[in-house]
Amino acid sequence: MNIRHAAVVAGLLLSLPNDGFGQRTLGETSDYAQFQNALDLLEKEKYGAARNAFQQYLDLKRNDLQSVEAEYYLAMAAMNLYHADAESKFASFIEKYPNHPKAQLAYYELGNFYYDQRKYNKAVEYYEKASQANLSENQRYEALFRLGYAHFAQKNFTEAGKAFDQVKNTKYEKAPAASYYSGYVHLQAGNYDQALQDLRKAESDGEYQALVPAMITHIYYQQQQYDKVIDYGEAALKRGRINDADAVALLVAEAYYRKGDYAAAASRFNDYAKENRSIDAAVRYRIGYSNFMTGNNDEAIAQFKTLAAKDDTLAQNAAYHLGIAYLKTDNKQFAMTAFDQARRASYDDQVRANALFNYGKVSYDLGRYADAIAAFQEFVKQYPKNASLSEANDLLSESYLNTDNYEEAIAHIERTAQPSPRLRKAYQQVTFYRGTQLFNDKKFLPAIDMFEKSLRFPVDQNLTMGAHYWTGETWSIGKQWDKAINSYAAVFSDSRSEHYLPARYGIGYAYYNTKEYAKALPHFRAYVEAGKAQTHYDDALVRLADCYYTTKNYAQAISTYDQAAEADASVRDYVLYQKGIVYDLMGQSNKAQASFETLTEQFPRSRYLDDAQFQKAQLAFEQGSYAAAINGFTTLIQKNSNSTLVPFAYLRRAISYSNLQKHEQAINDYKKILDAYPKHETANDALLGLQENLNAVNRGQEFTAYLNRYKQANPQSTALESVEFESAKSLYLGQNYMEAIQRLQEYMKNYPNSANLPDARYYLAESYYRAGDNKQALRFHQDVIRENRSTFTSRSLERVAELTFNAGNYPGAASYYRQLLANASNRRQESGALVGLLESYYRLQKWDSVDYFSGQIMQGNNAGIDAQNKALLYAGKSAYAQKKLDDAVDYFLQTLNSAKDENGAEAQYLMARIFFEQGKYEQSLETLYDLNKKFSQYTQWLDRGFLLIADNFIATDELYQARATLESIAENSPNPETKKAAQAKLLVVKQKEQEKQATPAEEDTTFSN
């Protein structure tokens, strides 16, 4: 039976009057029995039957005391039945009998009823209406406690406290509970002393010993009584079996933290972290900082890393300390990323300043001088009063000494009014290196300017000699031989310089190209005598032999040519040709003939084939063997119709026919010259020969027509034509390309038969090219190639090959480069043709051809450093494409040993890519860091490198590093494609971070102020 109801019924029974009981009539006794039966049913909790019974009693309309009681108990039964009219029946009872003792008890019962249903607002309403005077002591305290709790449940803490305060100091069984709740209410109100008093009292009750420690610890913490937090909290934790032990441990850790006892704090914090996946950000920061201060950097990194990826003050501080922690673990790359994150945030300016300074320092230590310069420049500008300003300026200067951002370094030093010796040395270095960079990029005039600037401060003797040497090389490329000679000669003041022998080789070529062979000879000889280890030893041997030949030291020439052929098989065709010439001059025609025959038989694709064919026929011609001469010249004409020697071959063959009295054949050859080559130097001799042979066959009347044609093609005065041609050409040379186009077109229209027409067509084609009209440039260059009469035909081949390649027509480009290779007029064109073939076949994915031509370049002696580097790079790229990864890495390493240009940058990146694909992430990262250090001026590869760094971080689950790297790229890269790629990868990283966070961190506000 419900205890509350039993008490009510028992009270009722005790209150019934005894007097007159025995005097009841039989009817009264029967009615009383009915009332008693209803009470019995209520006592037995048969509320439905009880309600019916009381209603039947009331229907008797006796209007006695039992009827009043019956109304009350009927309401009680209705209440326990949860009937809707229960409350109205109690209200009716109270209204009808306001002074009845049970009127107040009705309020109490209604309060209990709603309290038990957790309808606390209704419970409060009735408890407050119940008069405590009409309740027993136990009922009064019960009502007060329940009233307090009803208020408490509705967070009406002030009223709850008032009720609990009336109960907590009594002997009522729930007094400890009242103390507990009162303590909580006072804690929430900030009345810590009263709360502490209440909670201490509650703690004495076994039921609340486990509940109050967290609250008491929190109070001590809020009062900043950290020693008490520690003493009480540690004792509670040691005792065990307490609720919210994690909260107590956290507060103890926080107290240690506030006292600066980071070791103890770290111990408690770490225990807390092990048991809680969801940790408030501020707490996580203090966990990280405590471990940071005690040297437990790994744990500090783990905590700071979680916070640093966010965007708030705490994240900025975490990122900064994360950077310091990484430095303490000697992980400068990760430290730089963390400092970068902190410096890009603007919440705390002092933290930003420190992060910016450290970012610059770490960048400097890692050799990322461009980044260091940018950071220190920003630091000096924004924080001119910072304590680290002096060190920042020192490191900025040091960065300039090591930078490859040469233009910015040069500008910075040139802005300095009185550069120190240290800066003068730096200026000599950076201008020299910028000069070599421009040279490699084929920007020759700016390169000379840089080399000359480098010579302003000749601090380093080796760099001084280098500047002279490379100035000579640059002038040589521009065919400014006199200037080149002067620059090379300046190197000879230091015979110990590494540039001394290369300068001897260079000046030898300069004299050679100005046909001062006697002056060239001692330089080539000195270079050769230095030994076979010299880079251009084989070529120097050939040039030395040429010089012996031109200075008429024929025997020495033959001997040196033989040495050259033995040293380099690729020059055997040239050697055979030259030996034939020399033997002929020595009067040893048989040996000459043998050399020419060997060349034509063994080297049918030689670039000297037409020369050998002509010289072989010429020997027969000079010996009077005209039939043999005719055969030789015919071979040249038929098999090498594009040769510049064809007009001479026609002339010699015509003379041979004439000497054999074969006048018709002679006449045909002379006419061929006059028809096809009316302005050629052979045309005048052809005219005379034609006249003689026509007269011999009595056809002299035909001569007049050819004479008139010759006169028309070769007018007596060509002064005006020459002036116009030179004027148009000077516009081209002066880079006035649009005017040059107009004047050259007018010239070609006015002088359609001019001997200068082929060269005019070349200059017109180049003017279109320089003006950016590639379509017209291609058209006219192709005309030059088809006509094959310009002295610039090989240059047109170069240009057409380049334009065809750039248009993506790689088969066509390969065809033109092959023509160029066959018709190259110098070693530069030959090298360029080989490189063009290499790149064309790479685009066509013809790996065998790529391997072949890269090998040709690497084995040859005529290729420049750039071509050699490119050959190594493409050999590696070919191996990479064929999945020969070890071979590819080997080639890329060889490239890096010599290439300091874009070839090296690409090799560095591709090697890192291979390591990444092999899962060698650490090796890949180290290679990429070197890319940033050595090739930071090549932004294309630098951008790709940063993206690959992020890929490595993602692969190794270093998501913070990946995120920070990608955010930096997305924010700072000037390349839209790079930004887009970074943003796409950033989405992947964020998704992975979300997947790792199975339980999202939520802020713990239980004990917040």
Structure tokens at 699: 């056809």
Structure tokens at 602: 């063994």
Give the per-residue pLDDT at 61: 83
What span, in angstroms and rounded, lies between the C-alpha atoms of 810 and 801?
9
CB neighbours (10 Å) of residue 692? Answer: 16
On the 0-12 / 13-18 / 19+ scale of CB atoms within 10 A, 208 is: buried
What span, in angstroms and rounded, lies between the C-alpha atoms of 217 and 230?
8
* DSSP annotation string for 822-888: HH-SSHHHHHHHHHHHHHHHHHTT-HHHHHHHHHHHHH-SS--HHHHHHHHHHHHHHHHHTT-HHHH
What span, in angstroms and rounded, lies between the C-alpha atoms of 850 and 871?
9
Structure tokens at 834: 């080989």
* DSSP annotation string for 630-667: HHHHHHHHHH-TT-TTHHHHHHHHHHHHHHTT-HHHHH
Structural domains of the chain in order of their starting residue, each with its CATH number: 906-995 (1.25.40.10)
Say if residues 631 and 657 touch (Cβ distance below 8 Å). no
pLDDT, tens digit (0-9, with 9 covering 90-100), for 273-318: 888 878 899 999 999 999 999 999 999 999 999 898 888 999 999 9
Sole residue written with tokens 């030959």: 830
On the 0-12 / 13-18 / 19+ scale of CB atoms within 10 A, 791 is: exposed
Give the contacts of 998 (CB within 8 A, at least 6 positions apart): 277
What span, in angstroms and rounded, lies between the C-alpha atoms of 610 and 646?
9
Main-chain dihedrals φ then ψ at residue 800, nearest 5 degrees: -65, -40
Structure tokens at 334: 């990760």
On the 0-12 / 13-18 / 19+ scale of CB atoms within 10 A, 467 is: buried
What span, in angstroms and rounded, lies between the C-alpha atoms of 838 and 707?
51
Question: Largest alpha-carbon pair distance within the chain?
Answer: 188
What span, in angstroms and rounded, lies between the C-alpha atoms of 51 and 674?
143
Which has the closest alpha carbon to 847: 808, 890, 887, 815?
887
Give the contacts of 860 (CB within 8 A, at least 6 positions apart): 570, 831, 834
One-letter amino acid of 101? P
Write the CA distances from 318 to 269, 323, 344, 950, 960, integer angstroms.
17, 9, 13, 21, 12
Give the per-residue pLDDT at 404: 67
What crossing angle do the helices spanning 26-43 and 65-80 adopt, rounded to 10°? 20
In this structure, which long-range contacts are made by residues 723-729, counting pairs with CB atoms below 8 Å and at least 24 apart in sequence? 724/750, 724/751, 725/751, 725/754, 725/756, 725/760, 728/760, 728/763, 729/759, 729/760, 729/763
Eight-state DSSP code of residue 714 = S
What span, in angstroms and rounded, lies between the C-alpha atoms of 96 and 94?
6
Buried/exposed 637-673: b ≥16 CB within 10 Å, e otherwise? beebeebebbbbbbbbbbbbbbeeebbebbbbbbbbb
Which has the closest alpha carbon to 558: 620, 523, 566?
566
CB neighbours (10 Å) of residue 793? Answer: 23
Sole residue written with tokens 């909580």: 184
Write out the H or E segment, with its range, that includes residue 430.
helix 421-440
Say if residues 539 and 547 touch (Cβ distance below 8 Å). no
Say if residues 104 and 131 touch (Cβ distance below 8 Å). yes
For 63, left (φ over 0), alpha (ψ -120 to 50), or beta? left
Say if residues 857 and 891 touch (Cβ distance below 8 Å). no
Eight-state DSSP code of residue 278 = S
What span, in angstroms and rounded, lies between the C-alpha atoms of 658 and 693?
7
In Å, how far from its chain's centre is CA 830? 37
Say if residues 503 and 469 touch (Cβ distance below 8 Å). yes
Residues of the chain predicted below pLDDT 50: 1-27, 717, 999-1009
On the 0-12 / 13-18 / 19+ scale of CB atoms within 10 A, 775 is: exposed
| First CA to last CA distance, the chain | 47
* DSSP annotation string for 762-824: HHHHHHHHHTT-HHHHHHHHHHHHHH--STTHHHHHHHHHHHHHHTT-HHHHHHHHHHHHHH-
Give the contacts of 864 (CB within 8 A, at least 6 positions apart): 828, 831
What span, in angstroms and rounded, lies between the C-alpha atoms of 963 and 982?
9
On the 0-12 / 13-18 / 19+ scale of CB atoms within 10 A, 21 is: exposed
Main-chain dihedrals φ then ψ at residue 926, nearest 5 degrees: -60, -40
Give the per-residue pLDDT at 666: 94
Structure tokens at 989: 């990283």
Main-chain dihedrals φ then ψ at residue 1008, nearest 5 degrees: -75, 155
Measure the CA angle with vertex 443, ends 437 and 446; round to 5°.
85
In Å, how far from its chain's centre is CA 883? 25
Buried/exposed 306-341: b ≥16 CB within 10 Å, e otherwise? bbbbeeeebbbbbbbbbbbbbbeeebbbbbbbbbbb
Task: Work out whether the CA dihedral 346, 348, 353, 358 comes out positive or negative.
Answer: negative
What span, in angstroms and rounded, lies between the C-alpha atoms of 116 and 123?
9
Residue 78's SS3 state is helix
What span, in angstroms and rounded, lies between the C-alpha atoms of 930 and 908?
8
What span, in angstroms and rounded, lies between the C-alpha atoms of 766 and 758?
13
Say if residues 408 and 442 touch (Cβ distance below 8 Å). no
